[in-house]
Amino acid sequence: MSNDAVIDVRGLTKTYGTRLVVDHFDICVPRGAIYGFLGPNGSGKTTTIRMLCGLLLPDAGAGTCLGFDVRRQAGEIKKHVGYMTQKFSLYEDLSIRENLDFVAQMYAVKNRKQRVAQALDELGLADRASQLAGALSGGWKQRLALAACLIHDPQLLLLDEPTAGVDPKARREFWDEIRRLSKAGVTVLVSTHYMDEAVQCDFITYIAYGRKLIDGPSAGIAEQVGLTTWRAEGPDLGRLETTLVGQPGVLQIARFGSTLHVSGTDAAALDGTVRRLEAEGPQRWSLQPAGLEEAFIYLMTGAKDNFARDAA
């Protein structure tokens, strides 16, 4: 186990009934990093996060979170982790200030009133402190939830799809705060569906149907996958997309607005197909580095659904 890792676990496994929800999952999160946790709904992300923060006991596997054993010291882990659930989980009939004061009491925060006032200022909530949580918009609920996670000054934040359902401005402000916390030394593990958020992470893990598909520094994920991507622009992209299906070297075709991204792992074969179509058609073609979204789509294509009838 690494001494520099805030999270270092091997073989985490969780089964519900006959379903293997998390299948021998490994992860090592460096101190101070923003670690992106990507995967579709039902992939096991939430279950994994709950095992890491001591809310669920793994059926198998071992490791540490903040130096505490994930199987034997769950209570200690909970004291030092801030966990933000996907669904807003604070009291809607309490005000912002009352919610933060309640959470601060649960964690036995010293100088509680002063710390609550500080949290209100840091997250821009002071002017709304008396507003009921249930009357807040999605973005303001998100701020309140983050403030509650931070009230006891945790060393690690576990954020489960924290920006789901909020507007782009609120998402941007949220990520500004995450980067500020990371610079202050807080380690952040955040699950997300958004590729524009994933690129802001230092490291990324892709998980699908309970299994880890790949992990590493975010800048090197596409290179690990080994994809070559060409971009096509111009008229008749729908017809071109139909033509590309089954062509040599073409493993993946994805529409991005007014462009078509065509990817494969056999660069020479794909290049031959592109050159031929470029000579035949009106589209403009350009070679571009494969991105995280292309890598994600490619990895998901080969992943087996653990809830499919033949997967049991």
pLDDT digits (tens, 9 = 90+) for 147-164: 999 999 999 999 998 887
Mean pLDDT of the chain: 89
Question: What pLDDT shows up at residue 130?
Answer: 96
- Asked whether residue 175 falls in the same domain as residue 189, the answer is yes
Mean pLDDT of 204-228: 88
| CATH number for position 212 | 3.40.50.300
Measure CA 277 to chain center. Answer: 37
| CATH number for position 273 | 3.30.70
Residue 7: band (very low, low, confident or very high) from pLDDT cuts 50, 70, 90: very high
Question: What pLDDT shows up at residue 291?
Answer: 83
Q: Which domain holds residue 267?
A: 228-289
Q: Count of domains in the chain? A: 2
- Asked whether residue 259 falls in the same domain as residue 169, the answer is no
Last residue of some domain: 180, 205, 222?
Answer: 222
How many CA atoms within 13 Å lie on the side-chain side of 172?
3
Question: What pLDDT shows up at residue 309?
Answer: 44
CA–CA dist 28, 202 (Å, integer)? 13
Name, in order, each residue with C-beta under 8 angstroms of 73's C-beta and a sequence gap of 6 or more: 54
- Asked whether residue 118 falls in the same domain as residue 235, the answer is no
Would residue 34 count as lying in a domain?
Answer: yes
Segment 96-151, tens digit of pLDDT: 999 999 999 999 999 999 999 999 999 999 999 999 999 999 889 999 999 999 99
- Asked whether residue 198 falls in the same domain as residue 275, the answer is no
- Asked whether residue 141 falls in the same domain as residue 196, the answer is yes
Mean pLDDT of 39-68: 91
For residue 139, give Cα distances in angstroms to 35, 58, 128, 167, 183: 22, 33, 13, 7, 23
209, 43 Cβ separation under 8 angstroms: yes
- Asked whether residue 14 falls in the same domain as residue 153, the answer is yes
250, 227 Cβ separation under 8 angstroms: no
- Asked whether residue 125 falls in the same domain as residue 258, the answer is no
Name, in order, each residue with C-beta under 8 angstroms of 91's C-beta and a sequence gap of 6 or more: 98, 99, 102, 133
CA–CA dist 218, 216 (Å, integer)? 6
Would residue 298 count as lying in a domain?
Answer: no
- Please check the confidence at residue 300 and state whether its pLDDT lies above 90: no
